[in-house]
């Protein structure tokens, strides 16, 4: 135990820097995924049929490709087509794009929970579809989607470790380099697991709080 504590004191500064990068990567990818997910779901509700088809096609294609393959395509393939992104930008785009389809499903579930009578009432009052979405459906549907958005955020935090494959110095990558240089695999990976757990527990508590709040409503 004393040896573990001594090693932990030595390794934690490096791992905490990696954790900071993990949290930054997660936050940036979360913002991208929410923006794109909302775009996909709004396209899916559009009156113009081709937009609905494009939305379904995008969701099916992205959902059918593993995240790591999407990251490799963005980081290794796009430079061959003239778009060379730095590792962090590629990680944010890859994770954000991959998770946008799950966010779209979260939003779709929230929007579909809106009372149909309210939508009919808005239509009878002469609201156009964009106005109806902005004033009725989105204000009621997005709060209902918040608990599932929280669960998706926890998943994104854990899956951010995949970004280590494109050399982003997040927590898992920092731990891998540390384990290679010190040969303390057990200590390093146990610390990595504990740090991921420490980062995800507050998110899980926030999700439970949201679920209780909406359950009371």
Task: Name the residue ranges covered by the structural domains of the chain.
Answer: 2-216
pTM over 0.85: yes
CATH superfamily of 2-216: MetI-like (1.10.3720.10)
Residue with tokens 């009052």: 125
- The CB density around residue 191, as the number of other CB atoms within 10 Å, is 22
Q: Estimate the share of the chain in helix, then strand, then coil, as percent rounded to the nearest 5.
A: 90, 0, 10
Q: Would you give per-residue pLDDT tens digits along the chain (217 residues)?
A: 777 777 778 888 999 999 999 999 999 999 999 999 999 998 888 878 888 899 999 999 999 999 999 999 999 999 989 888 999 999 999 999 999 999 999 888 887 777 777 777 777 777 777 777 777 777 777 777 778 888 899 999 999 999 999 988 899 999 998 888 888 888 899 999 999 999 998 888 887 787 777 666 5
Residue with tokens 């990251």: 71
Give the chain's radius of gyration (CA, Å).
Answer: 21
């Amino acid at each position: 135990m004393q040896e573990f504590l001594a090693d932990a004191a030595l390794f934690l500064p490096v791992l905490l820097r990696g954790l900071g990068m993990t949290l930054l990567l997660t936050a940036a990818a979360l913002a991208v995924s929410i923006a794109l997910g909302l775009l996909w779901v709004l396209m899916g509700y559009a009156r113009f049929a081709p937009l609905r088809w494009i939305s379904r096609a995008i969701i099916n294609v992205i959902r059918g490709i593993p995240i790591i393959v999407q990251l490799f395509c963005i980081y290794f393939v796009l430079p061959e087509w003239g778009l060379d992104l730095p590792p962090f930008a590629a990680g944010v785009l890859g994770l954000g794009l991959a998770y946008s389809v799950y966010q779209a499903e979260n939003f779709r579930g929230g929007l579909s929970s809106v009372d149909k009578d309210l939508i009919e009432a808005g239509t009878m009052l002469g609201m156009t579809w964009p106005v109806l979405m902005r004033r009725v459906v989105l204000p009621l549907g997005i709060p209902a989607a918040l608990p599932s958005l929280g669960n998706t955020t926890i998943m994104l935090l854990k899956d951010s470790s995949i970004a280590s494959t494109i050399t982003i110095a997040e927590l898992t990558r920092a731990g891998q380099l540390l384990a290679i240089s010190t040969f303390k695999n057990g200590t390093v990976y146990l610390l990595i697991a504990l740090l991921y757990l420490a980062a995800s527990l507050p998110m899980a508590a926030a999700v439970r709080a949201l679920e209780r709040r909406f359950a009371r409503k």
